[in-house]
Amino acid sequence: MSDEIQFMDEDEDIDDITEQHENWKVLIVDDEKEIHMVTTHVLKEFHFKDRGIDFFHAYSGEEAKEVLKENQDIALIFLDVVMETDDAGFKLIEWVRNFLENKFIRIVLRTGQPGLAPEKEVILNYDIDDYRAKTELTAVRLFTTTVASLRAYAIMMDQEENRRTLEALVKTSWSIGSSRTADNFLKGLMPQISSFMSLGENSFLSEVERVGDKNVLKAVMGTGRFKKITGDVAEYLTSHEHEIVDKALFDGHHVFEDQVVVGVVLHSDPQNSRLLFIESHEKIKSLDLSVLKIFLSSLDSAYDNIKLSYEVEIAHIDQINMQKSLLDRLNNVISIRSKETAGHVRRVAECSVLLAKYYGCSKDYIEIFKTASPMHDIGKIGVPDSILLKPGKLTLQERAIINTHAQLGRDMFEGDESALIKMIRDVAGTHHERWDGKGYPDGLKGEDIPLAGRITSICDVFDALLSERPYKEALPLDYVVDILKKGRGSHFDPNLLDLFMDHLDEMSEIFRTYK
């Protein structure tokens, strides 16, 4: 196995080096010391997103396992195929994906004997980013491969952070909504917000009282320099903070700046009006800001629902209504990002509910389905705009990322076993499963796929094919019908598809109505 990496004379441009405390972790797994030396030499000046590289070295698959056990945040592995055994590299890939359950780490296979495993077969059968003969890896090729792999890793890690943030928001919404009194509702605000974003060093929640020509902010709770204040918090604000607070109270609206958020909570109820002041350690991330806006804007209606529920003891109805409102707001985030999404969501929901009625589903099932069906693409909130809104054809890597939206959508609603949330999980997580078991994310087959997912799958594909997208033209109805029929018994539940075709005119009318 003494094939040498040939680094030919090629021009390459590398960004200016910037000091950064936290570097990318890259593991080189190869039984040839020369490969380690050459790789580290070529990439020693490498920087991407103002971060350099910390190299880790292993000379066999078993050594690599020990390194990976101790460093779960390694971003990229350069992996030899043939080491202590002819398939040592392949076995390590399976160990990383299945035993460690690490789907984030990027893997680039390098081999001195490409004939042992054809490239097409390897790319299809293993979750890797690239497969190269060692003789192909010039200095520039190694540089571009490293950039592409680290970029994919960064996108996936951002996506995971987004998923956790949104998951926390969903759990927070249910928790806030379960409060039975105004006092508990208000006391829960800051702890709940802190579950999906850092409150920063200095934050407070205060009652608002107008005295003469000024606002008195009586402290309810605080952090940092506001932690021990029991009187008027306004006395401890800087002049700039005063301006922000006064603007929020005068306008009756939330104010968002780079590192400061002022939320006017319950301004519709003068006796319970509160002001929430949040100072972040650093510039607030765009996703945190979007989530916080949704959260704050829902508090007034949530509080009103809680009071009504408490007074007339119809808690179940009120909580369901609040959940629907919050779910609509989550869907609106996607609609804002993608112009075609809002109409698509509405049409798929209408068609799905109609198909459920003709299938003979109960009134209770259909009522829940009305709320759950529009959430089928909620996981796309975690897909980067650069991929979701790309006008051209997606690369295999980009397609893999966008395909994670089904799993993301399901994960967002884990932990709650109410009928509505369970159905949302079914719709979001299984609408890309196939009747023959070749779908994703779980490869479910036949009636193992929940009914809600099977119904939504047909309506989703029907609408997508009829619709124009940045990357494709709309298809004519007769062509769409042919495609659906060809998917009978393979892509779609045959009985449901037959029922859909029996009512094709009504389904087509829904598309025209909400186009």
| Residues designated catalytic | 380
Distance CA 130, CA 120 (A): 11
With tokens 């590398």, the residue in question is 14
- CA 89, CA 219: separation in Å to the nearest integer? 60
Going from the C-alpha of 196 to that of each of 226, 288, 385, the distances in angstroms are 21, 8, 21
In angstroms, rounded to a whole number, what is the distance separating the alpha carbons of residues 21 and 18?
10
Any idea of the CA torsion for 140, 143, 145, 150, to the nearest 10 degrees?
-160
The CA-based angle 489-442-62, given to 5 degrees, is: 135
* Residues sharing a CB contact under 8 Å with residue 198, sequence separation 6 or more, in sequence order: 280, 281
Closest by CA to 317, choosing from 411, 194, 415, 177, is 177
Q: Of 414, 188, 477, give the one whose Cα is nearest residue 306.
A: 188
DSSP letter string, 381-411: GGS-HHHHT-SSPPPHHHHHHHTTHHHHHHH
**How far apart, in whole angstroms, are the C-alpha atoms of residue 40 and residue 138?**
13
Task: Report the 10 Å Cβ neighbour count for 239.
Answer: 6
Q: Which two tokens stand for residue 455?
A: 């119904």
The two tokens of residue 332 are 């609106």
The one-letter amino acid at 356: A
Token pair 């055994």 in the structure block, residue: 85
Task: Pick left, alpha or beta for residue 212 (phi over 0 → left; psi -120 to 50 → alpha; otherwise beta).
Answer: left
Report how far apart, in Å, the C-alpha atoms of 414 and of each of 42, 323, 362, 417, 449 are.
Answer: 45, 15, 25, 8, 18
Of 274, 239, 267, 272, give the one whose Cα is nearest residue 253.
267
d(CA 308, CA 152): 48
Q: How far apart are CA 208 and CA 329, in angstroms?
A: 28
Helix (H) or strand (E) holding 50: none
What is the rounded distance in angstroms from the CA atom of residue 481 to the CA atom of residue 477?
Answer: 6
**Residue 224 φ/ψ region, left for φ over 0, alpha for ψ in the -120 to 50 degree band, beta for the rest:** left
- What DSSP state is assigned to residue 150? H
